[in-house]
Structure 1
Amino acid sequence: MTRGFISASCGLALGLLAGCSFQAPIVQEPSVPWVAPSGSATTTSTPPETRPSSQGPASQQDDLPEAITRQRQTLAAHRSAIAQAEAAQQAVCWQKFAVNACLSEARRTRRQALEPLRQQELALNAQERLWRTEQRERRLQGKQTVGRDIP
């Protein structure tokens, strides 16, 4: 092969690789109007379970599993959107000359998009473990108090 043919082939391959960039859509949760206990509606992107509450810590602790479940559902929706975007990008990759490079780029982009979600999920897991530990300690504390009352 001639040197000119090889450099032209490399230039073509690099040009195709440059066109294979993939950006996962950033899905943001829309602002949802939260109805305060007084009946007034406020629009915010922060749900009530993550804002400081004027209610006691006991009611906040009781709502924690529900809040974690809602956040997990939101993360699952984000993961689903990222998976759909990757599938669409892979379909585009199969139409290109440099299929493997494009697919690798799509996978790399997916991993980058999933990393913040993974970090959020790890934080949720830690929060849930802490909540379960507190609940277990409360049950044990209650059992110890009951055991002391009996002579």
Structure 2
Amino acid sequence: MNESKISHLEMIQNIITRMNSNSFLLKGWTVTIFVGLFAFANVTEMDSRFIIIALIPTVIFMFLDSYFLRQERLFRHLYEYVRTTNDRYIDFSMSTKRYQKQKDTKYLKVILSKTIWPCYVPIIAVTLIIFLKNPYVTNFIFSKWHAILNYLS
């Protein structure tokens, strides 16, 4: 293996490492914001709009984390291509366009991967449970539901 191929592989590996680091940092920030928001708040007396605000950064970070994981997978495909390509044909291209159609790089497949949903779905579920357990929210929901049922009967 010549030096140019090794350099190209190192560049790709650095990008993969950076994407992985970004993903790890996003998970850390998500947990920090979630725990911080509920640790300093009295959940039973909290305004329901305040509870639902916890979903905003969680969902944004989930999609951003999915983006980084998708980019990481695309660059892994590029790495594999460069690794198996003859040294003469190394052109230092960093384009991942040819791998966009790969099955494991589809956005839905990435979101449902075992590195994304186990982190974010429980946080979203706990937030929704706390939101629905809030007496102000449940009273509002039941009063509206009762009004709809009375209207229909």
Report the structure, 1 or 2, having the larger helix content: 2
**TM score, norm. by length of structure 1:** 0.45
Higher strand proportion: 1
Of structures 1 and 2, the larger Rg is shown by 1
Q: Which has the higher contact order (CA 8 A, sep 6+)?
A: 2
TM-score normalized by structure 2?
Answer: 0.45
